Copies of this chain bind each other. A is one copy, B any other.
Amino acid sequence: MVPYFYFEIIYKSKKSRARVGRIHTPHGIIDTPGFVAVATNGSIKAVDSVMLEQLNQQLIFCNTYHMILHPGANTVAQAGGLHTFINRKQPIITDSGGFQVFSLAYGGVASELKSKGQKDIKNSVLKINENGVIFRSYRDGSLIELTPESSIVAQKKLGADIIIPLDELPPYHINQRALKRCLDRTHRWEKRSLEEHEKNKNNQAIYAVVHGGIDKELRAESCKVLSQLNFDGFAIGGSVGKNREEMIEMLHFTMPRLPEDKPNHLLGIADLPSIEQIIPLGIDTFDSSHPTKLARHGHLLTTQGTKKIEQVRWKHDFTPIDPSCSCYTCANYSIGYIHHLFKAHEATAHTLASIHNIAYMNLLMAEYRKKIIRGEI
């Protein structure tokens, strides 16, 4: 019997840890290295599911936190699961919900970096203990308990192809002892998650979340502990450093400590300079809302560099955004028209720009796969 989830490595680079692979899931293949688009609420911002499938965006990331707040995991289950609810045939990955809850507790990553580590547990997060987290829904004020088990149960209801266990996300500014305590708890939570998952695998894969901040000893420990468990892949999580240098240094150290035969995902990072550096380190997939956010801000990714669409230089250019792109936007509209739509504050501007940037990311991924096979990476 063919397993419902497996990672096929097609080519391994001889000069780096980069590899070209295929993640096989019940909803089809994910070619790696592969960009993962973020559909927080079950929709990529400004692009509907059917359009997205035409773009062959093979994997999307939905946020359990948002989905449990609205419409609720039970509602999605009633609809027949996330794929049916949002009308998507291709693979989906969901996270645990922990990232957003701990962001509520400690502030977002950026604000926390700026605040120099002052904890500010806001009213919305009422309790963090060994059992899990209790927080208040910003929608209706109801109390919601997120535990390793309840997150897995919610993700079973959502029915994504790949799920992620609950982790305790420590703030960036934390001493090593506290970070170690966090790490140990996260490992205990991951084991509980795996046990909950194994009660009802539901044709879903589960990735471990590797933690340890930028502490090498703790990252090594996390790799060791989690590699011994029966996870289907690894997501690099926790604090990945305050800047790209720290992140790359951490990944240099971490990646060789993970099993070579399982897929690796980097959580929340997919800017172009980072991608260039993480692929040679053996990262297979990476999610970020960055390319679609750039699109909505009028920054269009092209083979000729980033084009700022609101610049007057594009007003009289009636060629496509990128002459070498064949996406829906480039096939149908000129950069001059997209410029006009941005200037006129038309909503279609965001849609057409987002479509293009997603298409660009996928073209770029295909290029990276070719480069690896040609021995250039």
A80 to chain B: which residues have CB within 8 Å?
318
Q: Once the chains bind, are A340 and B70 in contact (CB under 8 Å)? A: yes
Which residue from chain B places its CB closest to the CB of A79 in the assembled complex? B318
A157 nearest CB across to chain B (Å): 14
A214 nearest CB across to chain B (Å): 34
Known: A315-B71, A337-B85, A340-B70. A348 touches B79 (CB 8 A): no
> In the complex, A47→B51 CA distance in Å?
13
Which one, B71, B340, B347, contacts A336 given CB within 8 A? B71
A43 to chain B: which residues have CB within 8 Å?
341, 344, 346, 348
A313 nearest CB across to chain B (Å): 13
Tell me if A107 counts as interface (CB < 8 A to partner B): no
A100 to chain B: which residues have CB within 8 Å?
none
Tell me if A49 counts as interface (CB < 8 A to partner B): yes
Which one, B45, B87, B348, contacts A47 given CB within 8 A? B348
Tell me if A333 counts as interface (CB < 8 A to partner B): yes
Q: Once the chains bind, are B47 and A86 in contact (CB under 8 Å)? A: no
> In the complex, A343→B348 CA distance in Å?
20
A66 to chain B: which residues have CB within 8 Å?
344
Q: Once the chains bind, are A318 and B47 in contact (CB under 8 Å)? A: no
Which residue from chain B places its CB closest to the CB of A296 in the assembled complex? B347
> In the complex, A86→B339 CA distance in Å?
12
A316 to chain B: which residues have CB within 8 Å?
75, 78
Q: Once the chains bind, are B347 and A87 in contact (CB under 8 Å)? A: no
A333 to chain B: which residues have CB within 8 Å?
48-49, 87
Known: A78-B318, A79-B334, A347-B351. A340 touches B49 (CB 8 A): no
A 304-345 binary contact with B (CB < 8 Å = 1; else 0): 000000000001101000000000100011101101110110
Which residue from chain B places its CB closest to the CB of A71 in the assembled complex? B340
Which one, B48, B315, B337, B346, contacts A348 given CB within 8 A? B48
Tell me if A42 counts as interface (CB < 8 A to partner B): yes
> In the complex, A334→B343 CA distance in Å?
33
A372 to chain B: which residues have CB within 8 Å?
none
A123 nearest CB across to chain B (Å): 22
Tell me if A103 counts as interface (CB < 8 A to partner B): no
A84 to chain B: which residues have CB within 8 Å?
318
> In the complex, A334→B86 CA distance in Å?
9
User: Which parts of A66-85 form the interface with B (CB within 8 Å)?
Assistant: 66, 70-71, 75, 78-80, 84-85
7 contacts between A and B (CB under 8 A): A42-B344, A49-B332, A71-B336, A71-B343, A75-B315, A86-B337, A347-B350
Q: CB within 8 Å of B: which residues of A?
A: 41-50, 66, 70-71, 75, 78-80, 84-87, 315-316, 318, 328, 332-334, 336-337, 339-341, 343-344, 346-348, 350-352
